[in-house]
Amino acid sequence: QVQLVESGGGLVQAGGSLRLSCAASGRILTVNHMAWYRQVVGKQRELVARITTDGTTTYGDSVRGRFTIERDIPKFTVFLQMNNLKSEDTALYYCAAATTFDYWGQGTQVTVSA
């Protein structure tokens, strides 16, 4: 199994920045890629950013150019740097790790005020 613990969410004004962290533990050598997703009540969960084991990154259209996914390999931690935040970025952000199974963190709330 893989355990994921997110942190870094909070309340920020539009135009501001936040940095989310996701610390992984357990069978991390089985992880193929890690990603950040977000979900708003009543809507489907959407991909925000993904990073593979070789460092290849993918971003959702709505965040490309504003968000950056990074990793600290020795610390088994993935970060999501979010800049120029907009009110529509308000959501519950989840960290995910893909192995044979998908593992999810508990989520961290990001609220952007207009």
Whether residue 30 is predicted with pLDDT greater than 90 in this model: the reply is no
Mean pLDDT of 76-91: 97
Q: Which residue in this structure is represented by tokens 């959702």?
A: 60
Mean pLDDT of 70-86: 95
Q: Which residues pair with 3 in a beta bridge?
A: 25
Question: What integer pLDDT is reported at residue 60 of this predicted model?
Answer: 97
pLDDT digits (tens, 9 = 90+) for 31-66: 899 999 999 999 999 999 999 999 999 999 999 999
> What residues have CB less than 8 Å from 4, skipping those under 6 apart?
22, 23, 24, 95, 96, 97, 103, 104, 105
Which two three-digit tokens encode residue 94?
Answer: 């989840």
Q: Identify the three-state secondary structure at position 28.
A: helix
